[in-house]
C-alpha cells in the first residue's frame, strides 16, 4: 500500500490517509460529548431564563 502511494508521487495523500481517521474520531467525540450535555440539560435540569436549575428528588433510605 505504501509503495502504491509512493508511485502516485503524493506524500500529501499519505498524510491524509493517516490524519483523516484521527480527525473523524475527534469530530465523533465532540458530537458524542455535545449529545451527552444535551441529554443532561434536558433530563436533569429545568431551564429558568438563561440559567438551569437541577431537578431534585425526594429520597428515603430504610435499612432493614
Q: Is 18 in contact with 12 (CB distance < 8 Å)?
A: no
Identify whether 20 is part of a domain: yes
pTM of structure: 0.61
Helix, strand, coil percent values for the chain (each to nearest 5) = 65, 10, 25
**Residue 24: pLDDT over 90:** yes
Identify whether 64 is part of a domain: no
Q: How many residues does the chain have?
A: 64
Number of domain units in the chain = 1
What does the block give as the cell for 36?
451527552
Per the structure, the complete domain to which residue 11 belongs is given by 2-54
Q: What whole-number distance in Å separates Cα of residue 28 and Cα of residue 38?
A: 15
Average model confidence (pLDDT) across the chain? 88
pLDDT band at 14 (very low <50, low <70, confident <90, very high): confident
Identify whether 47 is part of a domain: yes
**Residue 5: pLDDT over 60:** no
Amino acid at each position: 500500500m505504501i509503495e502504491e502511494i509512493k508511485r502516485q508521487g503524493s506524500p500529501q495523500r499519505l498524510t491524509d490517509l493517516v490524519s483523516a481517521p484521527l480527525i473523524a474520531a475527534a469530530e465523533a467525540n465532540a458530537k458524542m460529548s455535545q449529545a451527552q450535555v444535551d441529554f443532561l440539560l434536558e433530563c436533569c435540569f429545568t431551564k429558568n431564563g438563561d440559567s438551569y436549575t437541577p431537578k431534585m428528588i425526594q429520597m428515603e433510605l430504610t435499612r432493614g
